[in-house]
């Protein structure tokens, strides 16, 4: 098939029939669609890697799950990365790893890591039990199962609101301090870039 010189349109993409062998349709600016004999239609973007200038290709998914307009936006995103000398493939891998880490790193899990550091500070068993009990009772039911990278300061405050409403202001203050410490551990571990909430 001759290389197309004009952008694809939705009708062409939708009506592209399964060929006898792999066929490529070109949309321009290095975006293309690979049409397979089985009928699948795969979006691909070809580019040169920053610095090495080696030819590379990244997949943007399959049609119709990813529409023509969506894949064009992905192409523009990739071109923006390249303008900053960032490899889109490597960026995608890093983002996937970051999202996986964020999903697995719930507030309760990170709080458990934080508590281990408290155990090594020489605090008494009574104090340690009080610390863990307060966080488990007042914080975990609200945000314990949430990925810590996704929790906003407003959600932290919302988790403390029921305790605040009962007038236990000193408890709220201690909980706020403990939440801050957990989030500071998160930042040090590069799990997220969220700001810690201010002590209430």
Query: Tell me: the pLDDT tens digits for 95-104?
Result: 887 777 666 7
pLDDT score, position 124: 94
Superfamily holding 10-90: Integrase, DNA-binding domain (3.30.160.390)
Tell me which residue has tokens 């906003």.
Answer: 152
E-strand stretches of the chain: 23-28, 31-35, 41-48, 55-63
Residue 48: pLDDT over 50: yes
The predicted model gives 64-75 an average pLDDT of 96
Domain ranges of the chain: 10-90, 104-195
pLDDT value at position 27? 94
Provide the pLDDT for residue 112.
Answer: 94
Contact partners, residue 193, CB within 8 Å, separation at least 6:
187
CATH architecture of 104-195: Orthogonal Bundle (1.10)
* pLDDT tops 80 at residue 186: no
Q: What is the rounded distance in angstroms from the CA atom of residue 69 to the CA atom of residue 105? A: 34
């Amino acid at each position: 098939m001759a290389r197309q010189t004009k952008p694809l349109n939705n009708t062409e993409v939708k009506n592209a029939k399964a060929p006898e062998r792999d066929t490529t349709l070109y949309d321009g600016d290095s975006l293309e669609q690979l049409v397979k004999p089985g009928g699948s239609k795969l979006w691909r973007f070809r580019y040169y890697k920053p610095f090495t200038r080696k030819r590379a290709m990244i997949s943007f998914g399959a049609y119709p799950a990813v529409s023509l307009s969506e894949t064009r936006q992905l192409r523009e995103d990739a071109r923006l990365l390249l303008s900053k000398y960032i490899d889109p493939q490597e960026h995608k891998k890093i983002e996937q790893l970051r999202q996986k880490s964020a999903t697995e790193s719930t507030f309760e899990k990170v709080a458990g890591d934080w508590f281990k550091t408290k155990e090594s500070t020489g605090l008494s068993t009574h104090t340690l039990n009080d610390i863990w009990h307060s966080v488990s009772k007042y914080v975990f039911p609200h945000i314990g199962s949430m990925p810590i990278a996704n929790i906003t300061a407003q959600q932290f405050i919302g988790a403390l609101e029921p305790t605040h409403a009962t007038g236990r202001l000193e408890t709220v203050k201690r909980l706020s301090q403990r939440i801050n410490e957990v989030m500071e551990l998160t930042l040090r571990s590069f799990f997220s870039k969220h700001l810690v909430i201010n002590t209430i």
